[in-house]
Amino acid sequence: MRTQVGIVGAGPAGLVLAHLLHLAGIDSIVVENRSRSYIEQRLRAGLLEQGSADLLIETGLGERLQRECMLHDGLFIKFKGELHRLDFRALVGKSVMIYGQQEIVKDLVAARLGYGAPILFEVGDVALHDLGGPHPRIAFTQNGERREIQCDFIAGCDGFHGISRPSIPADRITVFERIYPFAWLGVLVEAPPTRDELVYTHHERGFALLTMRTPRLSRLYLQCAPDEAETNWPDDRIWEKLRLRTAGGEGWQLSEGPIVQKGITEMRSFAVEPMHYGRLFLAGDAAHIVPPTGAKGMNLAIADVRVLARALTAFYKEGREDALAGYSRVCLRRVWKVQRFSWWMTQLLHRFDDDNAFDRRRQLAEIDYITSSRAGAMTWAENYVGLPMEWE
């Protein structure tokens, strides 16, 4: 097999890239080691920045998104038992949307298969070859047979645990990393959201977040120990902690219902520089991870592939290599701003066991500042709704 751009991974990064390349008349083949139904069910992100949503709408993927998404003009921050609203529409003139990542994946897969472009599901033993030369190759096993795709370029969109990043010689990239001393327990609940906007809660016993998927499905997160198993979290214990951490304020009543799904997510900040090696370009979680607090991972993945699609289009349509040469530099400017914001929201809202009384007072003072000063609220809002794209 031969293609212009071989794409490893059918997550948001790989599928959005394949879609943008298709619209630019550039061929690609996507290889994915999981099944179609697995990637369409995988429960993950839920919050789309306005820029990410606009891109999906402008490129023909907005039909179901616009019908089913939940548009949010603000959010709530709860601390010392009191709710404070951050109105980002008033502050920075933009909104965000709730629309599940797996719904975006479904829309992207349907669009791609609809125009007859290939996604090879359930491939095994994926390996990358000749990355430093002009004809890189993707090798894999499909239905018991070893196969190969010859490419002009390879996009490594296979997430944090994929094979693309480890295919780069260790002395050609630098890793930056911070691991947090806690994790998130996430649950999906058959109950209407407690509030019609998200509630980010600071509590001395730990962080909690109330978000949603639909008007009848809530998505709730709780800070927990990093090494805890899901089996340590029977439903009763989850509700007890959620009630405790979100309590307070007039008329407050946590909306409860059957828990239909549970999962634990580790918290990590991670980035590599540069985001390419030879003809391999890394995008999304393959190149960087942010802790989920700022809801940025999927949005950052989409921003990377917008830059990559534009650079590949400049190469194929105008014979220019400068945009590909600048890919990593342009992406990393955004990556580091988003890393900073995701770290900042994480340290602002979580309980750190080794913090002393001074640190806790400082944390509360900072939340108080954010919720009572327009300048403070503005920096949260501006980053949260998504920084503008930069192309240079």
Q: Which residues bind ligand DHB (CB under 6 A)?
A: 45-47, 98, 198, 211, 219, 292-295
Query: What is the side-by-side strand order in the sheet with 47-49?
Result: 47-49, 96-98, 70-72
What residues have CB less than 8 Å from 40, skipping those under 6 apart?
A: 102, 105, 106, 109
Strand, helix or coil for residue 10: coil
- Residue 293 partner contact from ligand DHB, ligand FAD, none using kind-dependent CB cut-offs of 5 to 8 Å: ligand DHB
Alpha-carbon torsion angle 149, 150, 155, 159, nearest 10: 30
Token duo for residue 345: 């929201």
What residues have CB less than 8 Å from 255, skipping those under 6 apart?
A: 189, 191, 192, 193, 194, 218
Three-class HEC string of 260-278: EEEEEEEEEEEEEECCEEC
- For residues 179 and 185, is the Cβ–Cβ distance under 8 A? no
- Residue 208 partner contact from ligand FAD, ligand DHB, none using kind-dependent CB cut-offs of 5 to 8 Å: none
Closest to ligand FAD by CB, 9 vs 363, is 9
- Residue 152 partner contact from ligand FAD, ligand DHB, none using kind-dependent CB cut-offs of 5 to 8 Å: none
What residues have CB less than 8 Å from 39, skipping those under 6 apart?
A: 10, 11, 32, 102, 105, 109
CB of 164 to ligand DHB, least distance (A): 24
Closest to ligand DHB by CB, 49 vs 158, is 49
CA pair distance 309, 18, nearest whole angstrom: 9
Closest to ligand DHB by CB, 220 vs 332, is 220
Closest to ligand FAD by CB, 34 vs 94, is 34
Phi–psi pair at 271, nearest 5 degrees = -150, 150
Residue of minimal Cβ distance to ligand DHB: 46
- Residue 20 partner contact from ligand FAD, ligand DHB, none using kind-dependent CB cut-offs of 5 to 8 Å: none
CA pair distance 191, 225, nearest whole angstrom: 26
CB of 43 to ligand DHB, least distance (A): 8
Strand duo 153-156 + 280-282: pairing: parallel
CB of 367 to ligand DHB, least distance (A): 16
Residues near ligand FAD (CB under 6 A): 8-14, 31-34, 39, 44-47, 101, 126, 157-159, 162-163, 186, 265, 284-285, 292, 295-299, 301
Closest to ligand FAD by CB, 145 vs 354, is 145
Closest to ligand FAD by CB, 91 vs 98, is 98
Active-site residue list: 72, 200, 292, 296, 384
CB of 284 to ligand FAD, least distance (A): 2
CB of 219 to ligand DHB, least distance (A): 5
28-53 in b/e form (b: 16+ CB < 10 A) is bbbbbbeebeebbeeebbbbbbbbbb
CB of 296 to ligand DHB, least distance (A): 8
